[in-house]
Chain A
Amino acid sequence: MNSNLAERLNELPDLLSGHVLLSLAAITVGLAISLPLGIFAAPRKRFASAVLNIAGVIQTIPGLALLALMVPLLGGSIGYAPAFMALMLYSILPILRNTVVGLQGVDAGVVEAARGLGLTHGQRLWQVELPLALPVIVAGIRTSIVWVVGAATLATPVGAPSLGNYIFAGLQTRNWLSVLFGCLFAAGLAVLLDQLIRLLEVAARDRRKALAIQVSAILTVVILVSILPRFIDFAPPAQPNSPQQVASVRAGEGALRGETVRLGAKAFTEQYILAELMEDVLNTAGADVERLDNLGSTIAFDALRNNEIDAYVDYTGTIWATVMNRDQAINRHAMFVQIAAYLHEEYGILTLGRLGFENAYGFAMRRDQAEALGISSLADLATHANALEVGGDAEVFTRSEWINTRDAYGLAAMSTRAMDATFMYDAVRDGQVDVISAYTTDGRIAAYDLQVLADPQGILPPYDAIILLSPEAAARPGLADALAGLVGAISDTDMREANRLTDLERETPEQAAQWLFGEITE
């Protein structure tokens, strides 16, 4: 078995159990709300159409947006709570709609017969209307299950582990096996649950007790086996770290024994590698590490502010623009000092220090195209602006970096195209876009022979990587000390190489982190 597959299988118990638990909780509560609501609404035409409209509007909100919206709505908390709320809301419509439609569709003659024979309202509902509407209601439950199990993959960016971790991480590190793994398991789970519920319905309809018992047993086993890892720790004992670690990182060895540290990471290669690196360092110090990967950019900061994660790596330019809302860049050293002071005063967040490398936005284009057009700096782009297209990740075009650059260098005529950061390097190499908003530490800049355009007016802010500790983590003795060995330890070259190993050499972030660990402890 190759190591990639082994790694993926290793993650499966945790991710599958998270996924199943989350989906199941959402559907159960969704059912407990939508079924009684549907029963109440069915005979009340106006009320029914009102609640169906509301549920319908919720349904039209794209899944990812609904999940993301739940984070601020729940006061910035991440993890299970927002994911559960969003999926629960998502599960309501199909069940509600089918309950209403199913009950309203029961033959009026049969309902009148029930009244005429003297059945009470409750008897009519339980003995006649619900049994006759059951196939339609079950169809709604099945739709709901398929939707929720599918949409639960989107729980990953709000910090709830799910099979989506495979997909998001795989997308960022171009690990297609991982993406496929996530898709297959999520789809397989949806189909399996759907079919088991269908069999349960068949058993109920044909009054086949034996079948009902068998299917319930299978369903129980499937659910129990998949959620068991959540309650029992099967993880093998942590492997001892390689012997090549040296004094600077060993200083705090054992200092954090028995403590648990929660590390966050945003959804791109460099973040995975740095989180792995911090995990290695913390393990050396004896701490147990929990990881929350694939967090949305601002979600990671919110999680830290609320002490839901203890530490993660962010970038000065990002904090400057999205947290402090400052739109003019200043000198990188001054910026670091101001950020550290601001975060400490406002939130009690400790800015541990700069890792040493800078991962800035830099506008890059193919070297041969740049030379042909005589472009070497952003200022040269203006004359070709209306013929060029710039690609970038989803957030860059709304951020001051692009807006200020565009305005300062007169690039308003350039057309823009947003895409996932993973794809933009290939896109510019293949000529699908002309310029991209590259990350300067990305290994593909060198590998694809891209030229980063100069910024003579100093518009683009510096992006020093910094380790941030949450207010609670800042107060924990030993944690800052354990991580302090990383400050100033990673050069631009090392980071670029580690990214390249993952993105281009198909090494895992774990392997790249180990390489980096080796470099910095030499």
Chain B
Amino acid sequence: MNKPDQPVLELRGVSKQYAGGVEAVRDVSLTLHAGKLLALTGTSGCGKTSLLKLINRLEEPSGGSVVYEGLDVRQSDAFRLRRQIGWVMQGDGLFPHFTVRQNIGVVPRLLEWDAATIELRVRELMQLVQLDVDAFAERYPHELSGGQRQRVGVARALAGKPDLVLMDEAFSALDPLTRDDLQRDFKRLQTELGFSAVLVTHDMAEALILADEIAVMRDGEIVQSGSPAELMANPVDDYVSGLLDTPRRQMRAIAELGG
């Protein structure tokens, strides 16, 4: 049913105005093709997280439409939609009273898979995110390191075999080494499994490394979107080039060291 050229996700003139009158998202249009990773970036409060939440109906748009696999999301049941779309959140959001096994198995259980299938899936995912099944399956989140918790978070998001994964600052709270590890593992998983992803991050370097396409937001609007190379080559204004400055400077400094 998913035609090869049909985009996984299309945002058509989407807006979000909150009850207090704050306009978090203004007339945003974006397209995400199968197997691609889109990064939403910009300074704090630019509306990138709000935009992400409009996709799986954690928030409802006040204007425009969100089309997932050819269907306006408002036509599907919100709970069923969220089970189809993977979700990794900032600070892992693991259930503290569930073991690693139970956390990863949440969505398959909601999808009413049988117990044996769930068990197989949990083991498969733990291997994919490089967590030893015997050592970790029965542990509780508080018994894990930050990196291990985020790996469980990623495994939990992928457990229901989603075509699309939404990630809200999934790696931001980790130390640089762990973050680098996880980023590379995630990129590998995405290539292997072929799912699409939308990644919200305030870290432009992360966006440049992981994304096929980057959308830069300011005050709820898309300022510029394009591939990492396009952005590096032609930033449209000072805001975008400012965001690119830090990774650029770091690259130059490192290059000089290498001589």
B104-130 Cβ-contact flags toward A at 8 Å (1 or 0): 001100100000000000000000000
Q: Which of A75-83, A106-114, A177-185, A418-426 contacts B (4 or more CB under 8 A)?
A: A106-114
The answer to whether A113 touches B94 (Cβ under 8 A) is yes
A244 at the interface (CB under 8 A from B): no
- Tell whether, in the assembled complex, residue B87 and residue A116 are in contact, meaning their CB atoms are under 8 Å apart: yes
B96→A117 contact, CB < 8 A? no
B70-85 to A contact mask, C-beta < 8 Å, 1/0: 0000000001111100
Q: Is A123 an interface residue (CB 8 A)?
A: yes
Which residues of A106-152 are within 8 A (CB) of B? Answer: 107, 109-110, 112-120, 123, 128, 131-132
Max chain B C-beta neighbours (<10 A), residue from A110, A117, A123: A117
Whether the Cβ atoms of B83 and A118 lie closer than 8 Å is yes
The count of residues in chain B whose C-beta lies closer than 8 Å to any C-beta of chain A is 21
**Contact of B97 (CB < 8 Å), options: A109, A112, A118, A132:** A132
Give the size category of A's interface with B.
10 to 19
CB atoms of B95 and A110 under 8 A apart: yes
Residue contact B79 to A118, C-beta cutoff 8 Å: yes
Question: A109, B110: Cβ atoms under 8 Å?
Answer: no
Question: Is B236 interfacial (CB-CB < 8 Å)?
Answer: no
* B110 close to A117 (CB less than 8 A): yes
Contact A113–B110 (Cβ < 8 Å): no
Using a CB-CB cutoff of 8 Å, which residues 50-95 of chain B contact chain A? Answer: 56, 58, 79-83, 87, 89-91, 93-95
Cβ contacts under 8 Å, A115 to chain B:
58, 82
Of B80, B93, B96, B110, which contacts A112 at CB under 8 A? B93
State whether B106 touches A117 (Cβ < 8 A).
Answer: yes
A132 to B81, CA, bound (A): 26
Question: Is B156 close to A, CB under 8 A?
Answer: yes
Contact yes or no, A118 B82, CB < 8 A: yes
> Which chain B residues lie closer than 8 Å to A128 at the CB level?
95, 97
Contact A117 B87 (CB under 8 A): yes
B80, B83, B89, B97: the one within 8 Å of A113 (CB): B89
Identity of the chain A residue whose Cβ is nearest the Cβ of B56 in the assembled complex: A116
Does A114 lie within 8 Å of B89, measured CB to CB?
no
Contact A112 B89 (CB under 8 A): yes
Main secondary structure, interface of A, reads helix
- Write out, one digit per residue, whether chain A residues 83-111 have a CB within 8 A of any chain B CB (1) or not (0): 00000000000000000000000010110
- The answer, among A109, A119, A132, for a CB contact under 8 Å with B79, is A119
B89 touching A118 by the CB < 8 A rule?
Answer: no
Tell me the bound Cα distance from A109 to B81 in angstroms: 20
Closest B residue to A108 by beta carbon equals B93
Asked if A116 and B93 make an inter-chain contact with CB atoms under 8 angstroms apart, the answer reads yes
What chain B residues lie within 8 Å of A112 (beta carbons)?
58, 89, 93
> A113, B79: Cβ atoms under 8 Å?
no
Contact A109–B93 (Cβ < 8 Å): yes
**How far is the CB of A159 from the nearest CB of chain B, in Å?**
47
Q: How far is the CA of A116 from the CA of B90 in the complex (A)?
A: 12
Most buried by B among A110, A118, A131, A132: A118
In angstroms, how far is the closest chain B Cβ from the Cβ of A203? 14
B residues within 8 A CB of A109?
A: 89-91, 93
> How far is B58's CA from A351's CA once the two chains are assembled, in angstroms?
76
B166: nearest residue on chain A (CB-CB)?
A: A116
CB <8 Å contact, B94 and A116: no
Query: Closest CB-CB distance, A54 to chain B, in whole Å?
Result: 28
- A116-B79 in contact given A110-B96, A123-B110, A132-B97 (Cβ < 8 Å): no
Q: Would you give the shortest CB distance from B175 to chain A, in whole angstroms?
A: 20
CB atoms of A118 and B58 under 8 A apart? no
Cβ contact within 8 Å between A117 and B97: no
Cβ contact within 8 Å between A118 and B80: yes
Whose C-beta in chain A lies nearest to the C-beta of B84? A118
A120 touches B79 (CB 8 A): yes
Q: Give Cα A119–Cα B79 distance, bound, in whole angstroms.
A: 6
Which residues of the partner chain A approach B94 to less than 8 Å between Cβ atoms? 110, 113
A residues near B106, Cβ cutoff 8 Å: 117, 119
Which of B90, B110, B166 counts the most chain A CB atoms within 10 A?
B110
Once bound together, how far apart are the Cα atoms of A132 and B96, in whole Å? Answer: 8
Q: Could you tell me if B97 and A116 are in contact, using CB atoms closer than 8 angstroms?
A: no
* B58, B93, B106, B166: residue with the most chain A Cβ atoms closer than 10 Å: B93
Collect the chain B residues with CB atoms within 8 Å of residue A110's CB: 93-96
B-side interface residues toward A, CB under 8 Å? 56, 58, 79-83, 87, 89-91, 93-97, 106-107, 110, 156, 166
Which residues of A does B touch, CB under 8 Å?
107, 109-110, 112-120, 123, 128, 131-132
